[in-house]
């Protein structure tokens, strides 16, 4: 039976079957081929989407805007400063209004319950562009990048080093569990995913044949790994006062040349970005002045090295987001 996700929201990959995820990945690859060949694909001409961003973004916003335009759609961008949402108008009322004008809504913000409520009240597909809990569109780009390198990812090992209970790590655990990829969260015990989510992922893993491992030993984390993944140590929305504690906890989990050398020689490095790998940002420089760290979650040796694939991954955000919008709106 063919997969059909028309009319569905895309809030967390927990709601999607492995077959549906596979379908979206295949569609993403097809869109990438079309873009490279210069084949126009304005399949959704006449439709309109709105992008709501309560947190900042470079990749996700640009990916949605470019993908929507490539599909022939109109795009409206709203941020908290330029809309009434949450200040003069409730979320439910905002969702009902947007649902009358737009065919689909992207939301990036804080609580997962907000993106769920938008879907509930708007009556149109809602796409999660990152919440405190999940970052599902990122996952399609990540797995697509892995498959471009290795082909079938089933049975391979992906290890996330760092804050293993953030939105990206949570979502990686979900997608790996669904697709039969062995997932390892490697970080301090204080920063491990919630038991409830681990339980759900273990259930999915029982079907797919994936394993889920939570450990604090970097040698074990890197051993036999095909993909080494990391993310910033302090996510959007977390207070800057936490930097000192986070640096103390996560310094041993920095992805550097020594750690890469503990993995398979064929391993690749991924990062959702943005990244603190040097002092070329205001935060990076500030951290250097306060704590003497030249780099945080990843060093330039890895970030600029031969195994790094994070810019392919960033490009793939656009192709995968296009697939999600097309599949749910067509």
Query: Which residues are identified as catalytic?
Result: 108, 135, 138, 231, 272, 317
Q: State yes or no: residue 63 binds ligand NVA (CB under 6 A).
A: no
Q: Which residues contact 294 (CB under 8 A, 6 or more apart)?
A: 278, 279, 288
Q: How far is the CB of 185 from ligand CP (least distance, A)?
A: 19
Pick one of 32, 59, 178, 319: the residue that binds ligand CP (CB under 6 A).
Answer: 59
Contact set for ligand CP, span 271-300 (CB under 6 A): 272-274
Cα distance between residue 181 and residue 237, in whole Å: 30
Q: State yes or no: residue 4 binds ligand CP (CB under 6 A).
A: no
Contact set for ligand NVA, span 243-272 (CB under 6 A): 272
Pick one of 114, 130, 270, 287: the residue that binds ligand CP (CB under 6 A).
Answer: 130
Of the candidate spans 75-83, 94-102, 205-213, 266-274, the one that interacts with ligand CP by CB under 6 A turns out to be 266-274
Neighbours of 163 (CB within 10 A): 27
CA distances from 323 to 96, 123, 166, 316, 328 (A): 25, 20, 25, 11, 8
Pick one of 60, 131, 316, 320: the residue that binds ligand CP (CB under 6 A).
Answer: 60
Q: How far is the CB of 30 from ligand NVA (least distance, A)?
A: 25
Q: State yes or no: residue 259 binds ligand CP (CB under 6 A).
A: no
Q: Which residues contact 135 (CB under 8 A, 6 or more apart)?
A: 128, 167, 168, 171, 272
Of the candidate spans 54-62, 83-91, 145-153, 187-195, the one that interacts with ligand CP by CB under 6 A turns out to be 54-62
Site size for ligand CP, by CB under 6 A?
9
Site size for ligand NVA, by CB under 6 A?
9
Of the candidate spans 18-26, 98-106, 141-149, 163-171, the one that interacts with ligand NVA by CB under 6 A turns out to be 163-171
Pick one of 231, 276, 316, 320: the residue that binds ligand NVA (CB under 6 A).
Answer: 231
Pick one of 25, 153, 168, 198: the residue that binds ligand NVA (CB under 6 A).
Answer: 168
Comparing every residue's Cβ against ligand NVA, the nearest one is 235
Q: State yes or no: residue 166 binds ligand NVA (CB under 6 A).
A: yes
Pick one of 143, 232, 295, 318: the residue that binds ligand NVA (CB under 6 A).
Answer: 232
Q: Which residues bind ligand NVA (CB under 6 A)?
A: 130, 166-168, 231-232, 235-236, 272
Q: For binding to ligand CP (CB under 6 A), which residues are involved?
A: 57-60, 130, 138, 272-274
């Amino acid at each position: 039976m063919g997969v059909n996700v028309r009319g569905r929201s895309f809030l967390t990959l927990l709601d999607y079957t492995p077959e549906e995820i596979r379908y979206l990945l295949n569609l993403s690859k097809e869109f990438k081929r079309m873009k490279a060949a210069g084949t126009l694909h304005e399949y959704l001409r006449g439709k309109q989407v709105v992008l709501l961003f309560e947190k900042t973004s470079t990749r996700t916003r640009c990916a949605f805007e470019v993908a929507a335009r490539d599909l022939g759609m109109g795009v409206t961008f709203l941020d908290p400063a330029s809309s009434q949402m949450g200040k003069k108008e409730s979320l439910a009322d905002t969702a009902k209004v947007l649902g009358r004008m737009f065919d689909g809504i992207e939301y990036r913000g804080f609580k997962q319950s907000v993106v769920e409520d938008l879907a509930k009240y708007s009556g149109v597909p809602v796409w999660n562009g990152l919440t405190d809990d999940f970052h599902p569109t990122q996952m399609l780009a990540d797995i697509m990048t892995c498959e471009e390198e290795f082909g079938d990812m089933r049975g391979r090992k992906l290890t996330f080093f760092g804050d293993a209970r953030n939105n990206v790590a949570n979502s990686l655990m979900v997608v790996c569990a669904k697709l039969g990829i062995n997932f390892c969260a490697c970080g301090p015990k204080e920063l491990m995913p919630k038991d409830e989510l681990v339980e759900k992922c273990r259930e999915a893993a029982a079907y797919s044949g994936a394993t889920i491992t939570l450990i604090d030993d970097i040698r074990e984390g890197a051993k036999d790994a095909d993909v080494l993944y990391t993310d910033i140590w302090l996510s959007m929305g977390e207070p800057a006062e936490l930097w000192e504690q986070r640096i103390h906890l996560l310094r041993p989990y920095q992805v550097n040349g020594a750690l890469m050398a503990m993995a398979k020689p064929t391993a690749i490095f991924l990062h959702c970005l943005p990244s603190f790998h040097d002092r070329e940002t205001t935060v990076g420089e500030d951290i250097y002045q306060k704590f003497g760290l030249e780099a945080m979650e990843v060093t330039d040796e890895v970030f600029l090295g031969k195994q790094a694939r994070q810019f392919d991954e960033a490009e793939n955000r656009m192709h995968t987001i296009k697939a999600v919008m097309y599949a749910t709106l067509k």
